[in-house]
Structure 1
Amino acid sequence: MKLKYIFLPAVAILCSLGSCKKYVEIKTQGNLVPGETVNYRYLLNNSSALEVGPQIGDLSSDDISYVDGSVQQRDLMSSSNVYLRNSYTWQPEIYPLGDSYLQRDNNWISMYNTIAYANTVINEVPSSNGTEAEKAELIGEALVHRADAYLMLMNTYAKPYNAATANQDLGVPLVLAQTTTQSLSRPSSAAVYAQIIADLKRALPGLTTQTINQLPSKASGYAELARCYLYMNDFQSAATYADSALAIRATLLDLGPITAISSSTYPIRRQNPEILLSKIATGGVTGGYGVTALRLSDELLSLLGTKDKRYQLFTAGASVVAFNYTQAGGRYFALDYLPYEPRNIGPTVPEMMLIKAEYLARNANAAGAMQMVNALRKKRFLPADYVDLSAGNPNEALRIVIEERRREFFCRMLRWWDMRRLKDDPMFRRTYTRTLNGSTFTLDPSSDRYTFQISPYQIQLSPEIEQNP
């Protein structure tokens, strides 16, 4: 099958810089010249193509709860909102095959578009004219972007990682070079995770520090490895790489003194010192369109509590979203309503701390786990409102760590990923239910709905892509 069908936008915008050389041999003052390494820096600086990740998991997570019968719920029933409605109710098919743009899964397309950019850099930079250090840095950054995209794809369109079945479970198509004739058959989950790890380890020697966190750095390379190993349930390796990331950057924002999120009180995303690699939900489930506003579940709000600054700063009343949503009450995720601050779903300092805390809890070190949790929480309250959490045993510590992950990362993709990886754990195993338009929908631990189907539109274009159950 032709590779162009897996990510249509990429082929429309990408011309292999090296392959254009035979058409342009004359150097023109002020213009790009084929073969020059700087060309690839311009590619990697294109954050609109590289700073993307999935958004449908947020709607499927238990962070979100729409009120049945509300104006927002009625808006969700519109035909133009079919993919929002389907992901919220855990339907077997999220993007039905049809005649409109709604059949195209922009989550899938955007991440493979990132991979196309990364592949161009990885495969063409070695023959460019820069220094070895310059080339190693560019290739390293591209490898991190590619690994991140594959990790996001795997946690959206493949089963949760299981070491016992990873060699049989389907991964996602591995595209490592920009050709139009390679197979798009799905390799095993084990093969894709092995590629992610290989890319990140290959990237590390060339990575440097960065002042803008939209560009991969050595800290973000370690952080991506920590995240990858966590979702492979290799907690020791995850903790090791989390420590490596924190050894480079461990800065936490003190939310206590901040009274409101604004450009003068809260750093913009690309300069936020907590963010190790900035990534945002593709297309966004943003406040620009009321029906997509993320209404927070009562369970999450209760877990947060009103004194937590994450409640005060990152949630807002219904009137902020739309005047006619106020009747349903509740609170909404607020960061989507700031024009400069869409939610980050990339790895962060708090994520590294909680990965280490989870490792400690799972290895009978409840005190160490709570020390990490409390070090984070102290920066999330006013001093007068802060109280240390304590755990009497490792299982209690683990429960607290998972709850803190939910407080810290709500509406930032990771709750859905955590629901997937924890669904078979006896401590966290549960059945979820929600009601929409008078119908009740259920997600039980054995359900295939924890893995999104690949859009039938993509499979129609590239039939060798095998569908999920």
Structure 2
Amino acid sequence: MNPKYKILTFLLATATLAGCKKFVDIKTQGQLVPNQTINYRYLLNNTSNFETVANLSDFASSDINLNDAAQQTALSGSLNYNYLVASYTWQPVIYPLGSNIEQDPNWIRLYNNVLNCNTIINELPGSDGAQADKDALTAEALVHRADTYLNLVNTYAKPYNAATAGTDLGVPLILVQTLSQKLNRASVQEVYNQIISDLAKALPALPETQAYNTLPSKASAYGELARCYLMMNDYANAGKYADEALKLRSTLNDLSTITTVTSTNYPRRITDPEILLSKVPVNSSLNFFPTVLKPSDEWFNLLGTKDQRYALFTTPAATISSSLTGRVYTKERAIGETRNEGPSVPEMMLIRAEAYARANDATNAMIWVNNLRIKRFKTADYTPLTATDANDALNKVIDERRREFFGISLRWWDMRRLNNQTNFQRTYTRVFNGTTYSLAPNSNRYVFPIAEYFRSLNPELEPNP
């Protein structure tokens, strides 16, 4: 955070740890003065209140392979790593009731984000500032709330299915903080409707770009809409909003001329031109043994050794620990920056590509894939990809998403949304400490469980199957 921004610390989160009825029993009076508009600017500048997203999806993805015996032993030797092991092996319980890890920090953090957004959205109309300032601040909060609910619904609810979304259980939709409110789960459709509504309301008052990627802009909102519609399998609207985002920001980091990645030659997350809105996972980076992310053999085979994402972002695992074999993903370690999970220019390009492929336009689909890939190879190593037809183009788009978005939630979200499409259905397997785990198409394990601790305090909070 730039030092010119004044930061206020608001003690809003402490009451959220006791469960959801207590979750919403929070007052802002005494922590900020509701009638002073400037205080809401300070709150929005405190990015820790808004930037964090869920991390469970990062470990459930097929791109991760924690296959070294030493790593498996170390991870299973501490209950503190249970969230990583349980999500990696698609377990029905991740935060055991009665244990010292019974409270899911993903759920807590995301609903704390919602609380902070609601504080701004609900209190700003009564503040003393100029209307344009109030509209702009409200718009930023609406974008953050939309992103948070997109994370929640893609973590704790079924993948979007137009035929069943109206009845599938989503997540509690809290739009106003009160002393007590029921936490019945809204439908998946209702949650997506709210996300789209928040972003549509935000757009008119947002600036086209911001000085720092932690602050929402029009490009951020368009990016969130493109991501949202892609998860809804609405490819026309996904492509439309990806186009709108790219009109405002389309710069790629050119890896073709880089020989090594360091904190001095690679942009910081808050100013990285590729990032439309910076979001970071709970628990920050995983850079050291035993939690370093190790890509699967399948991912390495997709990438190939000529790709600069292989040369620059992976390294022999022995550089992390002599107990590890193969190669590990070390981009974060190299640049000293937590991985970004928010919308980005590469994501918009590949959403645009997928929209073309879904519309039976293989030529334009591959143009957009290659517009990205040309920046990911040394000139001598680059060869444009081609597709025989739209279906082949779609497969190549999905493969490119895997290459580009390693270690972030998007691979898991893709597995969820594609798992009911016949040509992408497959059973995933992995072995951990001698036990084989499987994830079958349409399995309930594509939805993370809501911690029993929260449900024990809020019986109306229906469990996932």
- Kept in 1, the 8 Å contact 2:166–2:188? The answer is yes
Alignment map for 1:307-386 (pairs within 5 Å): 307-325=306-324, 329-338=325-334, 340-386=336-382
Asked whether 1:466 is paired with 2:465, we answer: no
Is the 1:3–1:180 contact (alpha carbons within 8 Å) kept by the matching residues of 2?
no
1:158-177 to 2 correspondence within 5 Å? 158-177=157-176
Letter in 1 for 2:339: R
Partner of 2:401: 405
- Change beyond 3 A, Cα 1:375–1:116: same
TM-score by length of 2: 0.93
Conservation of the 8 A alpha-carbon contact between 2:21 and 2:180: no
Quick one: distance in 2 between partners of 1:7 and 1:263?
41
How far, CA to CA, are the matches of 2:33 and 2:420 in structure 1?
Answer: 54
CA, structure 1 residues 58+183, in 2 after alignment: closer, same or farther (shift >3 Å)?
same
Please identify, of 76-85 and 372-381, the stretch whose mean Cα deviation from structure 2 is larger: 76-85
Shift of 1:321: 2.2
* 2:441 aligned with 1:442: no
TM-superposed deviation, 1:128: 0.9
AA aligned to 1:190 is Q
Report whether the alignment pairs 1:227 with 2:227.
yes
Quote the residue 1:180 is aligned against: 179
- Give the Å deviation of 1:263: 2.4
Instruction: Look up the SS of the partner of 2:256 in the other structure.
Output: coil
Partner of residue 261, structure 2: 261
In the alignment, which residue of structure 1 is the partner of 2:111? 112
1:392 Cα deviation after fit: 1.0
Distance in 1 of aligned mates of 2:445 and 2:155: 11
1:55 and 1:285 in contact (8 A); partners too? no
Give 1:177 deviation, angstroms. Answer: 1.1
8 Å Cα contact 1:9/1:109 also seen in 2:
no
Are residues 1:137 and 2:133 paired? no
Give yes or no for the alignment of 1:82 onto 2:82. yes
**Counterpart amino acid of residue 249 in structure 1:** R
One-letter amino acid of the structure 1 residue matched with residue 381 of structure 2? D
Instruction: Determine the C-alpha separation between the residues in 2 that align with 1:247 and 1:337.
Output: 32
Inter-partner Cα distance in structure 2 for 1:320 and 1:132: 55
User: Shift of the alpha carbon at 1:412?
Assistant: 1.3
Partner-residue secondary structure (3-state), 1:256: helix
Structure 1 residue 82: Cα displacement: 1.8
Q: Provide, for residues 320-349 of structure 1, a one-character-per-residue CA deviation record: whole Å limited to 9, x for no partner.
A: 322332xxx122121332473110000001
> Identity across aligned pairs (percent)?
53
- Distance between the aligned counterparts of 1:335 and 1:42, measured in 2? 31
Distance in 2 of aligned mates of 1:172 and 1:294: 29
1:337 partner amino acid: R
The alpha carbon displacement at 1:85 in A equals 1.3
* Equivalent residue, structure 1, for 2:3: none
SS at match of 1:396: helix
Task: Tell me the residue number matched to 2:8.
Answer: none
Q: For residue 104 of structure 2, what is the amino acid of its counterpart?
A: D
Superposed CA RMSD: 1.9
5+ residue gaps in structure 1?
A: 22-31
Residues 197-212 of structure 1 aligned to structure 2 (within 5 Å): 197-208=196-207, 209-212=209-212
SS at match of 1:103: coil
CA contact (8 A) 1:171 1:189 kept: yes
Aligned twin of 1:250 = 250
Per the alignment, residue 148 of structure 1 pairs with 147
Runs of at least 5 residues in structure 2 that lack an aligned partner in the other structure: 1-14
1:200-219 CA distance string (max 9 Å, x none): 00000111120100000010
Shift of 1:463: 1.9
Q: Could you report, residue by residue, the CA deviation over 1:289-342 in whole angstroms, capped at 9, with x for unpaired residues? A: x221111100001101111111112212212322332xxx12212133247311
- How many residues align structurally? 449
**Kept after mapping to 2: 8 A contact 1:4/1:11:** no
